[in-house]
Structure 1
Amino acid sequence: MKTTRLIGASTFAVAALVLSACGGGSSAGTTSSDTGTAGASSSAATGGKNITLMVGVKGDPFYVSMECGAKEAAAAAGATLTTQGPDKFDATLQNPLLDAVAASKPDALLVAPNDVKASVGPLKKIQDAGSKVVLVDTVVDDASIGVSRIATDNKLGGVKAAEALQTLGVAAKGKVLVISTNPGVSSVDARVDGFKEKAAELGYTLVSDTQYSNNEAAKAAQIMSAALAKDPDIAGVFATNLFTAQGVATGVKQAGQSGKVKVVGFDAGPDQIKQLEAGDVQALVAQKPFDIGVQGVEQAIAALSGGSVTANIQTESLVVTKDNMAQPDVAKYIYKSSC
């Protein structure tokens, strides 16, 4: 993975104005526009363009926070934003929505594709029809798709998860487990790769191949319970996203091993923070989805106005613990449930 990029000055300018207004919240078909003085020059340049944000799954606090950033950036630019998303992170559910987007012919599409291969066809159709496509959070294998690709440095996030287990006291030769969502999702696959590489460096023993929850908390809990029944001396677990982390914490708690088995989750939604406060999860690797939403709109506007477009942007992540979660520079990146 490439070295994490610094967020551009224009991103900070927008984010500084609107970060306090972001509270999360997402629903299919919501729109946002602004014709006030803020962003008037951008509005003139882009002529009130229509932008669609296709999130990976509707209602996920990560994507809700991304929508908050995208809404505010679109309003500042005088553009109209429409948000859609499938009820589950599943390409068979998202692709029909993308086909509908193709029919509506937006000026730009910000999209978190559900599969590196299965999402290619619909996105190529949209791009070939003239819409500017910006990939946010996840990507596809076809490098020709997307004028810009914006995502967390997910491999580095996986490295941070392994380092967090070490900080939490999991010693070398300790047994660890990785529970992910589905294979073929670019973001979580990179997190697994980063974690495994660092875990090997730290001398940890993986008790099994990566287990998959299908992005369902209940299934993650079942996997965790079964793993502990088979191997009760598991010392640490890395759960690669929000819903998986919810389920892992539940499984550990049901097994009566809360605190003994160190759990590091990825993402920092409201439920994860509650589990962190309760001691069911010991650390979270938080992404910065608000920033991704802001930058996604900025790159789309640049592409539409003939400005300079950055092909690849990697945003940062940070480790959240019970001890630092109240610090202002950490708390502002905790995901929200509504804008």
Structure 2
Amino acid sequence: MKIRNQIMVVLAAGTLLAGCGSGQIGDTGGATTDPNNKNLALLTGMRGEPFYVSIECAAKEAAAAAGYELNVQAPEKFEQAEQAQLLSGVVSSQPGAVIIAPTDDKALATPLQQAKDNGVQVVEVDTALEDKSVAVTSLSSDNHAGGVLAAQTLADLVGQRTGTVLALNTKAGTSTTDERARGFEEEIAKHPNLRLLPTQYTENEPATAAQIVSATLAANPDLVGVFGTNLNTGEGAGTALANAGKSGQVQLVGFDASPKQVDDLRNGRVQALIAQNPAEIGREGVARAIAAIKGEPVERETRTDMIALTRDSMQSQAQYFYRATC
């Protein structure tokens, strides 16, 4: 089935352009940062998740090329208390900048403000705080547009069939997946043959996503589509549909392109993936952290490109596949 070609969202592949919104230059304020500080810290959202591994690998390469040391930390789960504890240890080592994917858009504001007050430049990657005054710059995918793209892709896959559609979110208060869910909901409402069920939260656990999809199938035999807002929700949904013998009958659109998800796309357990560009986010995050340390201006917000991968297009877009190891 032909998927509409409107797959490039916001930017051309592999590039970063000046940001969205006001396009204002970030404020490198806070306590004075030593411009000769060569130490950087990266705190991703979860250890071992291929999206964050891809950010880490690119960030390490960029830091080494620029002559900077990069200390990488990550919580075992996407959970703010553990990340806040790691952040405290990182700040005590006095890096010039911390590059972070906040696991909660409110709860991490206080410790990150304290880091800023101690002369540590804050660079957000992937996720962001609700308070825009803390970080000097934010880099992420245009997640609302990614949700819109997911809905368009799912509607094309379903065609003229009528039925219900389920969106799986992770944790309330996660800026990225909340925006994806919002974009999906707004776009799917434009397709009268599809009825969106209440969004369900998985706590970022694949097993929970699988349980929700199994229960939804039992309660809604007319289920025709599922959207998983991130890697873990998509993987869990794929497992449930396969176990029910519904792979390919219920169209599944996932977010991200981990090795397992790519395999699932190849073997038909997933019909489409909305892939981000984590390597570009990692490289540019380091570049902006170094610029902020030196007191140079940086763009306050930038959005990177995304693309819809299908079984037919995946090999020509292999540069979007995520890495499991560096």
8 Å CA contact 2:257–2:321 kept in 1: the answer is: yes
User: Any gaps of 5 or more consecutive residues in structure 2?
Assistant: 1-8, 19-33
Give 1:148's match in structure 2, choosing from 134, 137, 151: 137
RMSD: 1.8
Q: Secondary structure at the match of 1:263?
A: strand
Report the counterpart of residue 227 of structure 2 in structure 1.
238
Matches within 5 A, 1:1-339: 4=10, 7-8=15-16, 47=36, 49-171=38-160, 173-327=162-316, 330-339=317-326
Counterpart residue type for residue 171 of structure 1: Q
Q: Secondary structure at the match of 1:124?
A: helix
Report the counterpart of residue 31 of structure 1 in structure 2.
none
Superposed displacement of residue 202, structure 1: 2.1
- Deviations 1:155-189 (CA, angstroms, capped at 9, x unpaired): 00001101111221343753111011111000000
- Deviations 1:200-245 (CA, angstroms, capped at 9, x unpaired): 0122544431101111111100000000000011001100000110
* Mapped partners of 1:8, 1:156: distance in 2: 16
- Deviations 1:128-159 (CA, angstroms, capped at 9, x unpaired): 10001000000011111110000000000001
- Deviations 1:9-40 (CA, angstroms, capped at 9, x unpaired): 89xxxxxxxxxxxxxxxxxxxxxxxxxxxxxx
Counterpart residue type for residue 334 of structure 1: F
Q: Secondary structure at the match of 2:308?
A: strand
Distance 1:204 1:176, change over 3 A: farther
* Mapped partners of 1:284, 1:221: distance in 2: 18
Distance 1:64 1:301, change over 3 A: same
Superposed displacement of residue 277, structure 1: 1.2
Q: Secondary structure at the match of 2:123?
A: strand
* Mapped partners of 2:233, 2:114: distance in 1: 32
Superposed displacement of residue 5, structure 1: 5.4
Counterpart residue type for residue 134 of structure 2: I
* TM-score, normalization by structure 2: 0.89
Comparing 164-173 and 299-308, the one that deviates more? 164-173
Q: Secondary structure at the match of 1:168?
A: helix
Q: Which has the higher helix share?
A: 1
Superposed displacement of residue 77, structure 1: 1.1
* Mapped partners of 2:296, 2:221: distance in 1: 57
Comparing 105-114 and 162-171, the one that deviates more? 162-171
Distance 1:168 1:8, change over 3 A: closer
8 Å CA contact 2:147–2:184 kept in 1: the answer is: yes
Q: Report the count of equivalent residues.
A: 301
* Mapped partners of 1:289, 1:332: distance in 2: 11
Q: Secondary structure at the match of 1:293?
A: helix
Counterpart residue type for residue 203 of structure 2: N
Q: Secondary structure at the match of 2:189?
A: helix
Counterpart residue type for residue 77 of structure 2: K
User: Any gaps of 5 or more consecutive residues in structure 1?
Assistant: 11-44
Answer 1 or 2: higher relative contact order, Cα 8 Å, separation at least 6. 2
Q: Secondary structure at the match of 1:62?
A: helix
- Deviations 1:259-283 (CA, angstroms, capped at 9, x unpaired): 1000000000011011111101000
8 Å CA contact 2:36–2:294 kept in 1: the answer is: no
Counterpart residue type for residue 81 of structure 2: T
Identity %: 45
* TM-score, normalization by structure 1: 0.85
Counterpart residue type for residue 148 of structure 2: V
8 Å CA contact 1:105–1:126 kept in 2: the answer is: no
Superposed displacement of residue 333, structure 1: 1.1
* Mapped partners of 2:201, 2:181: distance in 1: 11
Q: Secondary structure at the match of 1:175?
A: strand
Q: Secondary structure at the match of 1:68?
A: helix
* Mapped partners of 1:91, 1:133: distance in 2: 17
